[in-house]
Amino acid sequence: MASTRQSKKKKKATKYIFVVGGVMSGVGKGVASSSIAKILQARGLTVTAIKIDPYVNVDAGTMNPTEHGECFVLKDGLETDQDMGNYERFLNTDIPGNNYMTTGSIYQAVISKERNLGYGGRNVQVVPDIPAEAIRRIKKAGELASADVVLIEIGGTVGEYENILFIEAIRMMKTETPDDVAVVMVSYLPVPGSVGEMKTKPTQHAARTLGASGVFADIILARAPVPVDQKRKEKIATFCNVRVENVISAPDVESIYDIPLNFEKDNLSDRLCDMLQLSCAKKSDLSDWKRFVSKSKNTKDVVKIAVVGKYFSSGDFVLSDVYISVLEAIKYSAYKLGLKPEITYLSAQDFTDRKNLKNLKKYDGVLVPGGFGSTGIDGKLNVIEYVRKNRIPYFGICYGMQLAVLEFARNVLKKKEASTEEINPKAPDLVVAVMDDQKEKIAKADMGGSMRLGQYPAKLRKGTIVQKAYKKEEVLERHRHRYEVNNAYVAELENAGVIFSGKSPDGRLMEIMELPQELHPFFVGVQFHPELQARPLDPHPLFTTFIKSAYESK
């Protein structure tokens, strides 16, 4: 009896919060979405988050990072947008590949279903079948996470052709279950210098454009250089058809980690809970987060880290988004140690000229992040040689590890012609070579989503720098590469001092290399991307050990 009654009891409905952009992109929609997810999580709700990218690429793996920013690899190996990294960092949780979709991936699924007669012979149409596939995945995300709330960020801005089918998905869901869906529009309110007043007109137009698609914002997040005053909140409310208490001020902030706290100043979680009839078990508890934010602001001693990458310069601008997870990982570890990180972006290309190498003396530690292809390689190799010889703490990630091995082969083993197969497949000593299972993929130009991707285990060697840092014998880290240290050279490298302190459990893949601490305070290269698992409330032990050693060897 009891069980029948139980099963008859209505399951609590999952709620869906859509976040769309108004006026222009690049005003922090991803961080706003992460922050909304965070404040709801702090109310004791189970929250998961989705990013929808409107481009035709099936995933973010094939896009040039200077155009699209960092490619964030999820635990299950999907190559996604950097916003997924923000979600994982803010929510302190792993997110599955189901929660990332692009126009390309949706069409691919619909077309393959059609080819398999999955639509039973009927006419398959852009509407409703494309939004319906997006809705299917959105609902699945709720199920996979047993979520009370699913947050869905739609890339781009309202009024674009590209995201219209996803706006249509909102309309369809809202028509079906109006009480379970809320729409947040992140808009921008400029304060033109010549006028000196905050202008609401672009936001009014954005609200009207969204309305033309049959979707109305329930909440307007007013991004602006300064807080939005009551008068403008009232104006937005009148012209954009929202209640004045649902206009939330989102001024520029010193740190993105302030944003959840700022949202709560305008009671955003209460607003959302009321609107969606969400019964929150508890009052907002952001105490861990507040502690982290306050620690990040109360650091004294500086630690200077140089990140040497090839993607920094873009015309007259410097792009740091390409390495966002690396930069954030450095910060979390520095804050944990009570240090103020001063991160400098250096272009690898500038170090092709050895004269510039002495500039590296200014830094306490140097990091070479992941990368592809031959641009900036000579510069990176020169940097690695310099920091090895000058005992400047070095952390090499993925390409940064492969190049550390290559530098060692060239300058210590004196194999002057050594190379990586990625740059020069004809070189006599390929100390870094293509992985066996990658050969066929490269030959067939099967390049999308085909690298060694996602989480794999590594066994650590006792007593090494990394084993002491992790305090574990085996670790799981996320990967994204096609090449690896060539086993034919492992013995020779080891005899000359390289320690392969982490290997795949079968011993065939060199996952971590380091140099003995008698020779160098911290010289570590990892084949994986530890930055992808660094979280504000849970910094990554390798970054922490690197930063500590950088600070101590000042």
Name the residues annotated as catalytic. 398, 529, 531
Among 15, 480, 503, 548, binds ligand GLN (CB under 6 A): 480
Q: Is 503 in the site for ligand GLN (CB under 6 A)?
A: no
Choose the stretch contacting ligand GLN; rule: CB under 6 A; options: 168-176, 194-202, 248-256, 474-482: 474-482
Q: Is 371 in the site for ligand GLN (CB under 6 A)?
A: yes
Looking at residue 122, what DSSP letter applies?
P
Q: Looking at beta carbons only, is 246 or 486 nearer to ligand GLN?
A: 486
Q: How far apart are CA 479 and CA 74, in angstroms?
A: 9
Q: Is 69 in the site for ligand GLN (CB under 6 A)?
A: no
- We find the least distance from the C-beta atom of residue 372 to ligand GLN, in angstroms, to be 4
Q: How far apart are CA 383 and CA 376, in angstroms?
A: 11
- We find the least distance from the C-beta atom of residue 529 to ligand GLN, in angstroms, to be 7
- We find the least distance from the C-beta atom of residue 481 to ligand GLN, in angstroms, to be 3
Nearest to 432 by CA among 378, 483, 384: 483
Q: Which whole-number Å values give the CA distances from 363 to 51, 301, 393, 399, in the listed order?
A: 37, 14, 9, 21
**With the CA atoms of 337, 341, 345 and 346 taken in that order, what torsion angle do they form, in degrees rounded to the nearest 10?**
-70
- We find the least distance from the C-beta atom of residue 1 to ligand GLN, in angstroms, to be 58
Q: Looking at beta carbons only, is 152 or 322 nearer to ligand GLN?
A: 322
- Write down the H helix ranges in 225-280: 230-240, 259-265, 268-275
Choose the stretch contacting ligand GLN; rule: CB under 6 A; options: 253-261, 280-288, 460-468, 481-489: 481-489
Nearest to 327 by CA among 163, 59, 86, 122: 86
Among 372, 391, 442, 504, binds ligand GLN (CB under 6 A): 372
Among 28, 97, 309, 370, binds ligand GLN (CB under 6 A): 370
Q: Is 399 in the site for ligand GLN (CB under 6 A)?
A: yes
Q: Looking at beta carbons only, is 219 or 432 nearer to ligand GLN?
A: 432
Return the ∠ at Cα 176 (arms to 9 and 277), rounded to 5°: 55
Q: Which whole-number Å values give the CA distances from 228 to 188, 190, 356, 414, in the listed order?
A: 11, 11, 47, 64
Q: Looking at beta carbons only, is 166 or 399 nearer to ligand GLN?
A: 399
- We find the least distance from the C-beta atom of residue 303 to ligand GLN, in angstroms, to be 24
Choose the stretch contacting ligand GLN; rule: CB under 6 A; options: 215-223, 332-340, 366-374, 405-413: 366-374
Q: Looking at beta carbons only, is 275 or 423 nearer to ligand GLN?
A: 423
- We find the least distance from the C-beta atom of residue 305 to ligand GLN, in angstroms, to be 18
Q: Looking at beta carbons only, is 101 or 381 nearer to ligand GLN?
A: 381
* CB crowding 511-520: b at 16 or more within 10 Å, else e: bbbbbeeeeb
Q: Which whole-number Å values give the CA distances from 139 to 112, 147, 237, 382, in the listed order?
A: 20, 10, 31, 51
User: Encoding tokens for residue 208?
Assistant: 């009207």
Count the residues in the chain: 554
Among 380, 482, 503, 520, binds ligand GLN (CB under 6 A): 482
Q: Which whole-number Å values give the CA distances from 517 to 47, 255, 496, in the listed order?
A: 44, 36, 14
What's the number of CA atoms in the CB half-sphere (13 Å) around residue 398? 23
Looking at residue 50, what DSSP letter applies?
E
User: Encoding tokens for residue 209?
Assistant: 């454009």
Task: Classify strands 340-347 and 302-309 as parallel, antiparallel or unpaired.
Answer: parallel
Q: How far apart are CA 203 and CA 239, in angstroms?
A: 9
- We find the least distance from the C-beta atom of residue 145 to ligand GLN, in angstroms, to be 28
Q: Is 398 in the site for ligand GLN (CB under 6 A)?
A: yes
- We find the least distance from the C-beta atom of residue 307 to ligand GLN, in angstroms, to be 13
Q: Is 422 in the site for ligand GLN (CB under 6 A)?
A: yes
What's the number of CA atoms in the CB half-sphere (13 Å) around residue 195? 8
Q: Looking at beta carbons only, is 402 or 549 nearer to ligand GLN?
A: 402
Q: Is 481 in the site for ligand GLN (CB under 6 A)?
A: yes
Binding residue count for ligand GLN, defined by CB under 6 A: 11
Q: Is 528 in the site for ligand GLN (CB under 6 A)?
A: no
- We find the least distance from the C-beta atom of residue 85 to ligand GLN, in angstroms, to be 15
**Which residues, other chains included, contact 125 with Cβ-Cβ below 8 Å and sequence gap of 6+?**
none
Q: Is 483 in the site for ligand GLN (CB under 6 A)?
A: yes
Q: Looking at beta carbons only, is 371 or 454 nearer to ligand GLN?
A: 371
Contact mark string toward ligand GLN, 298..337, x via CB under 6 A: ----------------------------------------
Give residues in contact with ligand GLN (CB under 6 A).
370-372, 398-399, 402, 422, 480-483
